[in-house]
Amino acid sequence: MERENLWVVKCTDREDDDVPQLREEYMAGHLSHLEAIVDHIAMAGPLKDPSGSRIVGSLLAYRTDDLEQAKAWLDGDPYARCGIWAEIEWSRLVLAAGSLVGGVTW
Which tens digit of pLDDT belongs to each residue from 38-76?
A: 999 999 999 999 999 999 999 999 999 999 999 999 999
Of the pLDDT bands very low, low, confident and very high (cuts 50, 70, 90), residue 1 is low
pTM for this prediction: 0.91
C-alpha to C-alpha distance for 18 and 16, rounded to whole angstroms: 6
- Each domain of the chain, given as residue ranges in start order, spans 5-100
SS3 3: coil
The CATH homologous superfamily of the domain defined by 5-100: Dimeric alpha+beta barrel (3.30.70.1060)
